[in-house]
Amino acid sequence: MSSAKRPPVLLGLLTVGVLAASGCGGSEEARNELRLPDSPSAAGSSPAEDDGGATASAVLVDAAGNDVGTVRLREVAGGVEIVASVSDLEPGFHGFHVHQTGRCEPDSQSPSDPDKVGDFLTAGGHLGSGDDQHHPGHGGDLTSLFATEDGVAELTTTTDRFTIADLLDEDGSAFIVHAGPDNFGNIPERYAPEGPDADTLATGDAGDRVACGVVKG
């Protein structure tokens, strides 16, 4: 007697059973391949999120005392990560530096030249500028900000030239946003055969200080 054909329903049930058994009893390698991408062990986690490093921040104000942005810092594997968000800027590039002293006073005297008065001058020069370094080799020299047409600048950068503890020393430190672009001391010899002048080597010719924020732990 010839065997009867199995009904299609029965074949379907057998197929499902085989697939289920394969899924439960498959190799570890196969199961790893099926792991969802948002699983922590599959996607991994950022070392910067897990390092538990020191943090600090600064609130940027303009000369009128209005809040115009924030700077957040945290120590990561490569140094100090800096995340800046600034508004109310003129469109274009702006010099962005850490200065030596944690003071943000409008219409103030320069500590190195009392005859010079201007906004936020009591913050002093760039961090590290007293170590016989020239711009852009100062510890506080950073990547420039770029403001879009709506006056907003966003920047994330990392530096290994200082630690957060350096910024929170006895006299503190401050972030300064400048009115103009930073030339990073890059003056071609055809314009300056004798090399960049003292102002360029000190500041990068970034112009007036338009925003300032004292670093706080």
17-32 pLDDT per residue, tens: 433 444 444 444 444 4
Taking residues 190-217, report their average pLDDT.
88
Q: Average pLDDT of 79-96?
A: 98
Q: Looking at 88-92, 131-135, 151-155, 202-206, which range is the least confident one? A: 131-135
Predicted TM-score of the model (pTM): 0.73
Burial call 158-187: b when 16+ CB within 10 Å, e when fewer: ebebbebebbeeeebbbbbbbbbbbbbbeb
For residue 200, the model assigns a pLDDT of 81
Q: Which helix (H) or strand (E) holds 186?
A: none
Of residues 62 and 52, more confidence is placed in: 62
Dump pLDDT digits (tens) for 122-175.
999 888 776 667 767 678 899 999 999 999 999 999 999 999 999 999 999 999
| HSE (side-chain half, CA atoms, 13 Å) at 41 | 5
Query: Is residue 59 within 8 Å of 70, Cβ to Cβ?
Result: yes
Average pLDDT, the chain: 80
**Cα dihedral: 177, 178, 181, 182 (round 10):** -80
- Cβ neighbours, 10 Å, residue 100: 22
pLDDT recorded at residue 43: 34
Q: What are phi and psi of 21, to 5 degrees?
A: -65, -40
- As given in the structure block, the two tokens for residue 140 are 């506080």
Is the pLDDT assigned to residue 54 strictly greater than 60? yes
| Percent of all residues in the chain with a pLDDT value above 90, rounded to a whole number | 53
